Amino acid sequence: MKSLPLFLVVLFLAACVPPAPIAPPSANATLSSFSFASPAVNGEIDQGAGTVHVEVPAGTDVTTLVAVFTATGTVAVGGVAQVSGETANDFSSPVEYRASATDGSCTSYTVSVVKGAPPSAEKALTSFAMTQPAAAGAVDQETHAIHVTMPHGTDLTSLVAVFATTGIRVTVDDTEQQSGITVNDFTEARAYVVYAADGSSCAYTVVVDTAPGTDKTLTSFGLLAPACAGLIDEEARIIRVRAPDGTDLSSLVAVFSATGAHVSVLGREQTSGVTANDFRAPLDYVVTAEDGSQVSYTVRVSAGVPLLINEMDVDQVGTDNAEYVELYAAGDVDLAGIALVLINGGVTPGAEYARIDLGHLGTLAAGAYLVIAGPNVAVPANAMKVTPAGWESSNRIQNGPNDALMVFDTIGDRIIDTVTYAGVLHRALIAGHAAELDATEGSAGAPADSNTLVGSIGRSPNATDTGRNNADFKFNPALTPGGPN
Ligand SMILES: [Ca+2]
Ligand SMILES: [Ca+2]
Ligand SMILES: [Ca+2]
């Protein structure tokens, strides 16, 4: 500058010094494009303001950048003629490009080069969850550990994760992951590697497990010896087992199956087919689920059911419209699964023709009477009476010969008591029991009822049971439904 004539200095100051040129920019001296080839970026020219803004990537060396430009007129920087694509300049601070026309007019541009933001180092997995079934994951950003607990029983071999990340890509075993799409096997821990824009990476360890099970059901229960199946009332959680008469209940082994983790009785672990228990009183079998929750089943084992067919009026003078069967509880009786079965002895083998289920009646206390009868039969107030559907009609019970009444235990699958009257019936078939049954206790049946005399067939003395129908039952003229014979 020192060597420039004064008038040129004045001209320069007047025409080309930003920010506000005194003279308007020359239309004949214009910079119309400005870019760098390396790095390849375009500048933004503001003709009004006389500025060029160029952003280069972070890390770019701006001290020797070569501009590629188009201009009308000649272009100089600090008096040095510029050749597009050849002349390098130091853009550490704004550089003045001056375009000059042959008419002496000129336009000055301030070229500012700024560096872009450095590439991000962000590489966090900010959320992680499973779909189908849905389960949220817990992400620990300090340890880079992710834990997901799936519902019990979930197959971990092919699960799809949905995740969010601040990185630019995520891989598992070098496989690019797409949130909500990529399937992975989570039976083992998986490393999710998140890459940041700056090339750095971070591995998150994803551990997936399943919730402990809540199942806790005794699905079958019976005795090993004598072999007998129990009946599970799942709603009441009562299991009834009826062993044969005379079975010693003090040490029996149960055979059972259960869901859940384990089964215990009085705190003692039970092994099906192995562990013996004293069943003389009801026992609580406690089933514990994997999650620690428990349910308890009360197991009631009985040896024989103390229920007798005590009296029957199967035939009346004239129309049979007041028939009845009287049952007597010689001890406490749980009627669950017990039925009165009526058997026709007129065919061979004898065949069931009617059945009255008694299970819904609950229990009978020792000494109680239960009368199955139609509306014409009255019983004492302390006796129980049940009228099966259809028993308001006459002729519900066959008169013989060789017909039988049987009290059958469908749980223990055996006869509790049976009486054949007016003959014998050693072969009979009833529903739900494949083998033929002997419907007569002893070698001869109870006597026949009469259709000319009022009376019934009853145990005499009352509740006598020697196991012989002909010895235990007599024809009695007194009708005593619901009371002692
Ligand atoms: Ca009859
Ligand atoms: Ca009679
Ligand atoms: Ca009676």
SS3 of residue 12 by DSSP: helix
Regarding whether 157 and 46 lie in a shared domain, the answer is no
Regarding whether 463 and 318 lie in a shared domain, the answer is yes
Cis-peptide into 19, omega within 30 deg: yes
Instruction: Count CB neighbours of 345 within 10 A.
Output: 26
Regarding whether 466 and 328 lie in a shared domain, the answer is yes
CATH number, domain with residue 177: 2.60.40.4120
Going from the Cα of 479 to the center of ligand 2, the distance in angstroms, rounded, reads 8
Cβ-count burial 407-424 (b if 16+ within 10 Å, e if not):
bbbbbbebbbbbbbbbbb
Taking a 5 Å cut-off on Cβ, the residues next to ion ligand 1 are 314-315, 320, 397, 399
Going from the Cα of 454 to the center of ligand 2, the distance in angstroms, rounded, reads 5
Mode of pairing for the β-strands spanning 135-140 and 218-223:
unpaired
| Residues paired with 279 in a beta bridge | none
Q: What percent of the chain lies above the pLDDT cut of 70?
A: 95
Regarding whether 348 and 451 lie in a shared domain, the answer is yes
Say what the alpha-carbon torsion angle 408, 409, 412, 417 is, to the nearest 10 degrees.
-50
DSSP symbol at 360: G
CATH number, domain with residue 53: 2.60.40.2340
Identify whether 431 is part of a domain.
Answer: yes
Say whether pLDDT at 343 is over 80.
yes
Confidence of residue 350 (pLDDT cuts 50, 70, 90): very high
Regarding whether 458 and 321 lie in a shared domain, the answer is yes
Going from the Cα of 480 to the center of ligand 2, the distance in angstroms, rounded, reads 11
H helix or E strand, kind and range, residue 268 = strand 268-269
pTM assigned to the model: 0.66
Task: Return the pLDDT at 2.
Answer: 45
Cα 44 to the chain's mean position, in Å?
A: 63
Identify whether 252 is part of a domain.
Answer: yes
Regarding whether 439 and 343 lie in a shared domain, the answer is yes
Going from the Cα of 437 to the center of ligand 1, the distance in angstroms, rounded, reads 23
For the chain, the residue count is: 485
Mean pLDDT of the chain: 94
Regarding whether 436 and 365 lie in a shared domain, the answer is yes
Confidence of residue 9 (pLDDT cuts 50, 70, 90): very low
Task: Return the pLDDT at 169.
Answer: 97
Task: Return the pLDDT at 198.
Answer: 92
* Domain end (from 115, 134, 165): 115
Identify whether 484 is part of a domain.
Answer: no
Taking the C-alpha atoms of residue 300 and residue 231, their distance in angstroms, rounded to an integer, is: 10
Regarding whether 469 and 328 lie in a shared domain, the answer is yes
pLDDT digits (tens, 9 = 90+) for 230-269: 999 999 999 999 999 999 999 999 999 999 999 999 999 9
Going from the Cα of 458 to the center of ligand 1, the distance in angstroms, rounded, reads 15
Domain that holds residue 328: 307-476
Going from the Cα of 309 to the center of ligand 3, the distance in angstroms, rounded, reads 10
Number of independent structural domains in the chain: 4
Q: What percent of the chain lies above the pLDDT cut of 90?
A: 91
pLDDT digits (tens, 9 = 90+) for 138-168: 999 999 999 999 999 999 999 999 999 999 9
* Domain end (from 115, 147, 181): 115
Taking a 5 Å cut-off on Cβ, the residues next to ion ligand 3 are 311, 326, 480, 485
Regarding whether 414 and 382 lie in a shared domain, the answer is yes
Identify whether 120 is part of a domain.
Answer: no
| Residues paired with 239 in a beta bridge | 232, 299
* Domain end (from 72, 94, 115): 115
Using a CB cutoff of 8 Å and minimum separation of 24, what contacts does 351-355 make?
351/428, 351/429, 352/428, 352/429, 352/430, 352/431, 353/398, 354/396, 355/430, 355/431
Task: Return the pLDDT at 10.
Answer: 44
Q: What angle do CA 20, 23, 24 make, to 5 degrees?
A: 85
pLDDT digits (tens, 9 = 90+) for 404-456: 999 999 999 999 999 999 999 999 999 999 999 999 999 999 999 999 999 99
